[in-house]
Amino acid sequence: MDEANRSALNEFWVNLKSVPSQIYRAMFRGGAPVSDRTRSSFVFGNVFLHLHSVRTHLWSLRWTATMGLGIITTAAFLITLVTGVLLMFYYKPYPDVAYQSIKDIHFIVPTGRFMRNIHRWAANVMVVAVLLHMARAFYTASYRKPREFNWFIGWGLLVTTLALSFTGYLLPWDQLAYWAITIGANIAQSPREITDAMGITEFFDIGGLQREVLLGSDKVGEESLIRFYLLHVMILPLVLAMLMAVHFWRIRKDGGLAKPVDVDDRVKADAEEHYPVFTEEPQKTYQLAAVVKGRTPAVGSGPENTVPSMPHLFYAELGVLMFTTLICIVLAFVSDAPLKELANPLVPENPAKAPWYFLGLQEIVAFSAFMGGIGIPMLCWIGLGLIPFLDKETEGTGEWFGGPGGAKLVGWSMIYGFATSIAVEAVAIRFGWLREWFPDIPQLVITLVNPGTVITVLYAGFSIWALRRFNSTRAGALALFTCFLCGFIVLTVIGTYFRGPNWEFFWSPADWNAH
Amino acid sequence: MTTKPTEKRSRFEPEPMPRRDFLGLAALASMAAAFFVSMFGMLKLPKAAVSASPSKKYSVALPDALPEGEAFVPPGRSVAVFRDGEGVFAISTVCTHLGCIVKPNANGFECPCHGSGFSKDGAVTKGPAPKPLPWLKVSKGGSGFVIDEEATVKTGTKV
Ligand code: HEM
Ligand code: FES
């Protein structure tokens, strides 16, 4: 008994001494990722990493394949998450108090201003990156079967990202925030432009309902602030995180990123330079035929032209994360997040500008609230979502500007897209629009015919021309997408730099005061 | 659904689920019912029954020396009150475009947000506003006039 006692004590002592190494082994169960087997278990043994596939195709690792844009978006989101939680320590979502708390964060809280700046910049980086990422997925024709569903998820991610930015815009409760949200909420109400014209607003006031549910009141006030706060710090981030998990998982399940059919002939030469392609002959094969669609896994030989995700993919992702962090930090040092005077519901900020990515819309809203704020954005949004179902050709998948027409068509579409939107805007700015020419014109005519709709029709016409000229739905899509992208850029630039007080045209912000 | 005993099925495609499994269907139906009823309740929640804003009916004391054509703005309100030879009238200063507050100027009103212009009686002269500025109900009462922002009257009604 004495002996047994001593050995248990001994064992305890030995266990205690080896606790650190045991914890290490418990955490890194698979051992160091040095062989195919341990590299694989490194990935699928970890709930976060296993959203990735264990091996990555060399084609997808070339930086021109994705330009890292999806990862930049993810990284920017993570940065806003961390800095956002920190800001929540001090932020108080109540009118006027909110403004004071942002002021405290900006001027008193240690590192507060820095965190606020990073948060603001990372949010902007995220919006830019998500737009570019979408353009990448489009131009490389990566939305096609079997990736239609993931394009769909991405489509949801786009709106959620924009909604996150927009709800965050109100939180400082300064003049900029208050009037941007007032305008935004009234855009939600603008279906009244149509229901009024039809005389049915009394019975069917969808616009009024949307606005009321968004604001929780009949004007932007405490109810609205708490709603926007709830959406911004809780509902939308949760939705975004869930959609992101599905988005990543789908990439894996869809067989990695989209690749040209003849990809294996194209990247073969590179394989030698990558270490290690295979360190072990696969020893087992699995009967997966009932579970996996498509080609059965190769037996007795490994998949070709793939390399282990650890380290090749993960180190690349880490690099992109650090690069994004660096960008946000540098921007945060260079430029402070704005904070105007306390919100004043009686005196609008002049000019009252929405966040920059909505200024393109604000530019067309300045002709018709409904068309600019709801009609055309909805059309673009629905059109975007339907792309994979309307273009089901296979030529050019996985290649930049792949498909009939190719880069040349995109070039011409750019010229056309820029030229028409600039021309229509120039006419509207120089000569005014219908109301200035025919003062008694009914509102419905202006709702239907305004710079926004004219540009849309011109773009649609061009797209149909391209579709028929190349006899290809992909060519039509390339033309339309490119045109809208150019229109978005032109309108955003005009709204941002060339519109001043009273939304009048100015060649430079320096002239604003002369007014 | 039952399968004919003669029919040969693959190991990977077993017999279809018995659709008439009563308990399963009942569970499913109760879940669907609970889901829709609770959704209905939850969707009702965000729309407040009573709006949390201050009263829209208030009295104003017009200054005796208000020159004709000059706007009097009751403190904290988005309304312009005028007096002329025919009486007193009130015009809302909330732009009918997207809700900015319009400023009285020499010709009527102008909106700083997207440049809508209105004449002195609120009619749209310029810009994107879809409707004229509404005239609000004014009545004599108390020590002066009572304005009701919720009741609009025909353009040109003066008291
Ligand atoms: C918060 C927003 C988003 C995040 C974080 C995100 C993230 C990612 C990541 C990390 C990838 C892997 C490839 C890459 O890095 O480019 C990817 C692929 C993809 N994304 Fe997104 N994405 C977002 C929004 C979108 C949007 C708006 C769309 C389009 C409507 C979209 C469509 C796709 C498609 C189709 C793929 C597969 C591309 C291929 O197979 O080559 N995503 N996304
Ligand atoms: S809100 Fe007055 S012009 Fe837009």
Side-chain half-sphere CA neighbours of A155 within 13 A: 18
Mutation to probe ligand 1, out of A51, A79, A138, A157 (largest number of atoms < 8 A from CB): A157
Total count of domains within chain B = 1
Residue nearest to atom 4 of ligand 2 (CA): B114
Same domain flag for A103 and A139:
yes
Find the residue in A nearest to B118 (Cα): A439
Residue B86 lies in a domain: yes
Which positions in chain A touch B46 (Cβ < 8 Å)? 213, 216, 227
Same domain flag for A388 and A313:
no
Question: What confidence score (pLDDT) does residue B75 get?
Answer: 83
User: Which domain range does residue A478 map to?
Assistant: 359-509
Question: What confidence score (pLDDT) does residue A511 get?
Answer: 74
Same domain flag for A324 and A404:
no
Structure tokens at A263: 């990809």
List CB contacts of A461: < 8 A, sequence separation 6 or more. none
Residue nearest to atom 1 of ligand 2 (CA): B98
Same domain flag for A80 and A111:
yes
Distances (CA, A) of A464 to A402, A415, B132: 18, 16, 40
Consecutive H or E run containing B108: strand B108-110
- Inform me whether the C-beta atom of residue A223 falls under 8 Å from chain B C-beta atoms: yes
For A180-189, letters b (16+ CB in 10 Å) and e give bbbbbbbbbb
Structure tokens at A313: 């993919």
Residue B6 lies in a domain: no
- Inform me whether the C-beta atom of residue B100 falls under 8 Å from chain A C-beta atoms: yes
| Spatial separation of the C-alpha atoms in residues A437 and A431, rounded to whole Å | 9
Which positions in chain A touch B125 (Cβ < 8 Å)? 439
Which positions in chain A touch B76 (Cβ < 8 Å)? 346
- pLDDT of residue A362 exceeding 80, the answer is yes
Total count of domains within chain A = 2
Interhelix angle for A406-431 vs A451-469, to 10°?
A: 160
Residue A122 β-bridge partners: none
Which comes out higher in pLDDT, residue A296 or B138?
B138
The one-letter amino acid at A126:
M
The Cβ of residue B93 has, within 10 Å, a number of other Cβ atoms equal to 22
Alpha helix segments (H runs only) across A359-472 = 359-365, 369-370, 376-390, 406-431, 434-437, 443-448, 451-469
Residue nearest to atom 19 of ligand 1 (CA): A137
Residue that is last in its domain, among A331, A349, A367: A349
Peptide bond into B16 cis (omega under 30): no
Instruction: Give the CATH number for residue A102.
Output: 1.20.810.10
- Do the Cβ atoms of B101 and A446 come within 8 Å? no
pLDDT digits (tens, 9 = 90+) for B113-134: 888 889 988 888 888 888 889 9
| Spatial separation of the C-alpha atoms in residues B1 and A69, rounded to whole Å | 51
Same domain flag for A71 and A202:
yes
- Do the Cβ atoms of A369 and B46 come within 8 Å? no
Residue nearest to atom 22 of ligand 1 (CA): A70
Same domain flag for A342 and A471:
no
pLDDT digits (tens, 9 = 90+) for A165-210: 999 999 999 998 999 888 888 888 888 878 877 777 777 788 888 8
C-beta of residue A43 within 8 angstroms of C-beta of residue A54: yes
Residue A428 lies in a domain: yes
Measured from the CB, is residue A313 less than 6 Å from ligand 1?
A: no
Residue that is last in its domain, among A316, A349, A382: A349
Which residues does a 6 A CB cutoff place in the pocket of ligand 2? Answer: B 95, 97-100, 111, 113-116, 127-129
Residue B75 lies in a domain: yes
User: Which domain range does residue B89 map to?
Assistant: 57-153
Same domain flag for A143 and A206:
yes
- pLDDT of residue A381 exceeding 50, the answer is yes
Residue B104 lies in a domain: yes
Interface test with B, best of A218, A224, A228, A491 (most B CBs within 10 A): A218
Question: In terms of Cα–Cα distance, which of A152, A151, A218, A234 is closest to A185?
Answer: A218
Residue A295 lies in a domain: no
- pLDDT of residue A334 exceeding 60, the answer is yes
Structure tokens at A476: 């039509």
Instruction: Give the CATH number for residue B95.
Output: 2.102.10.10
Question: What confidence score (pLDDT) does residue A244 get?
Answer: 97
Same domain flag for A329 and A465:
no
Same domain flag for A152 and A220:
yes
Same domain flag for A223 and A370:
no
Structure tokens at A54: 């264990």
Cα angle value A52/A56/A57 (rounded, 5°): 145
Question: What confidence score (pLDDT) does residue B31 get?
Answer: 95
List CB contacts of A68: < 8 A, sequence separation 6 or more. A316, A320, A323
Same domain flag for A326 and A370:
no
For A220-253, letters b (16+ CB in 10 Å) and e give bbbbbbebbbebbbeebbebbeebbebbbebbee
Cα angle value A39/A43/A48 (rounded, 5°): 155
Ligand 1 atom closest to Cα of A240? Answer: 1
Q: How buried is residue A274: exposed, middle or buried, by Cβ count under 10 Å (0-12/13-18/19+)?
A: middle
- Mean pLDDT computed over A25-45: 82
Of B12, B76, B112, the CB nearest to A346: B76
List CB contacts of A127: < 8 A, sequence separation 6 or more. A161, A162, A165, A357
Residue A337 lies in a domain: yes
Question: In terms of Cα–Cα distance, which of B71, B67, B69 is closest to B79?
Answer: B71
pLDDT digits (tens, 9 = 90+) for B52-84: 667 778 888 887 777 887 888 888 888 998 888
Of A223, A348, A447, the CB nearest to B52: A223
- pLDDT of residue A291 exceeding 70, the answer is no
Task: Specify the range with the lowest mean pLDDT, choosing from A260-274, A304-318, A360-374, A454-468.
Answer: A260-274
- pLDDT band with cut points at 50, 70 and 90 for residue A276: low
Structure tokens at B50: 């009573």
- Do the Cβ atoms of B112 and A502 come within 8 Å? yes
Residue A299 lies in a domain: no
Residue B42 lies in a domain: no
Interhelix angle for A112-139 vs A148-170, to 10°?
A: 150
- pLDDT band with cut points at 50, 70 and 90 for residue A300: very low
Residue A498 lies in a domain: yes
- pLDDT band with cut points at 50, 70 and 90 for residue B6: low
Structure tokens at A408: 């040349």
Mutation to probe ligand 1, out of A133, A143, A165, A250 (largest number of atoms < 8 A from CB): A133
Residue A274 lies in a domain: no
Eight-class DSSP state of A283: -
- Inform me whether the C-beta atom of residue B76 falls under 8 Å from chain A C-beta atoms: yes
Residue B123 lies in a domain: yes
- Do the Cβ atoms of A348 and B113 come within 8 Å? yes
- Residue located via tokens 């669609």: A293
Q: A135-139, A403-407, B62-66 — which one is most confidently predicted on average?
A: A135-139
- pLDDT band with cut points at 50, 70 and 90 for residue A221: confident
C-alpha distance from A55 to closest chain B C-alpha (Å): 28
Ligand 1 atom closest to Cα of A152? Answer: 30
C-beta of residue B81 within 8 angstroms of C-beta of residue B147: yes
The one-letter amino acid at A433:
W
For A56, phi then psi, to 5°, come to: -120, 140
ipTM of the complex: 0.81
Residue B50 lies in a domain: no
- Inform me whether the C-beta atom of residue A205 falls under 8 Å from chain B C-beta atoms: no
Give the strand pairing for B87-92 and B135-141.
Answer: antiparallel
- pLDDT of residue A142 exceeding 80, the answer is yes
C-beta of residue A48 within 8 angstroms of C-beta of residue A57: no
Q: Tell me what percent of the residues of chain A surpass a pLDDT of 90.
A: 49
Peptide bond into A146 cis (omega under 30): yes
Structure tokens at A340: 């105007």
Residue nearest to atom 3 of ligand 2 (CA): B114
Same domain flag for A328 and A418:
no
Residue B33 lies in a domain: no
C-beta of residue B142 within 8 angstroms of C-beta of residue B152: no
| Spatial separation of the C-alpha atoms in residues B118 and A159, rounded to whole Å | 36
Question: What confidence score (pLDDT) does residue B13 get?
Answer: 64
